[in-house]
Homo-oligomer: A and B are copies of this chain.
Amino acid sequence: MTVAEDTAVSLAGHRVTAARRAVLEAMRATPGPFTVEDLCAALPGVGRATVFRTVKLLQEHDVLCRVVLEDGGVRYQLSTGGHHHHLVCSRCGGVQEFADPALDLLIQQNARAAAFALDGHSLELYGRCAACG
């Protein structure tokens, strides 16, 4: 699948423009999680505002997921799809995704116990990845 093709899929109803394709390619070219600043630096021809607007658009379409660091900093990462959580390495800054139905179930049970109507949740684990030990 080409970039143009899945961009069209992800952004159905929105125009496929050069700027959007460029932003998406820059995201793909970045190994780990990135900041808006990273994207801007890699895309000298694309305006800062456009990068922000594209990031917001992709988030709304679940193409991009927001990763909140321990210190409150924000990073983004192309979503591998579906519901998942993050393992954020405090040394190399890398982010792994993981999913665990049992965990989600337990979260739902806690919400129910508190008479809370759950819409969604966010779980971030902080520590050192295998490589950083």
Contact = CB atoms under 8 A, between A and B. Distances in A.
Contacts of A117: 127-128, 133
Interface residues of A, number: 37
A78 interface: no
A30 to B, nearest CB: 21
Contacts of A128: 116-117, 119
Interface string A33-50: 000000000000000000
Given A100-B110, A125-B107, A72 B70 contact: no
A80 interface: no
A12 interface: no
Nearest to A99: B110
Contact of A98 (B110, B118, B125): B110
Interface of A: 66, 68, 70, 72, 74, 85, 87, 89-90, 96, 98, 100, 102-103, 106-107, 110-111, 113-130, 133
Ranked nearest first, the 8 interchain pairs of A and B with the lowest CB-CB distance are: A115-B130, A117-B128, A119-B127, A118-B127, A121-B125, A123-B123, A117-B127, A122-B124
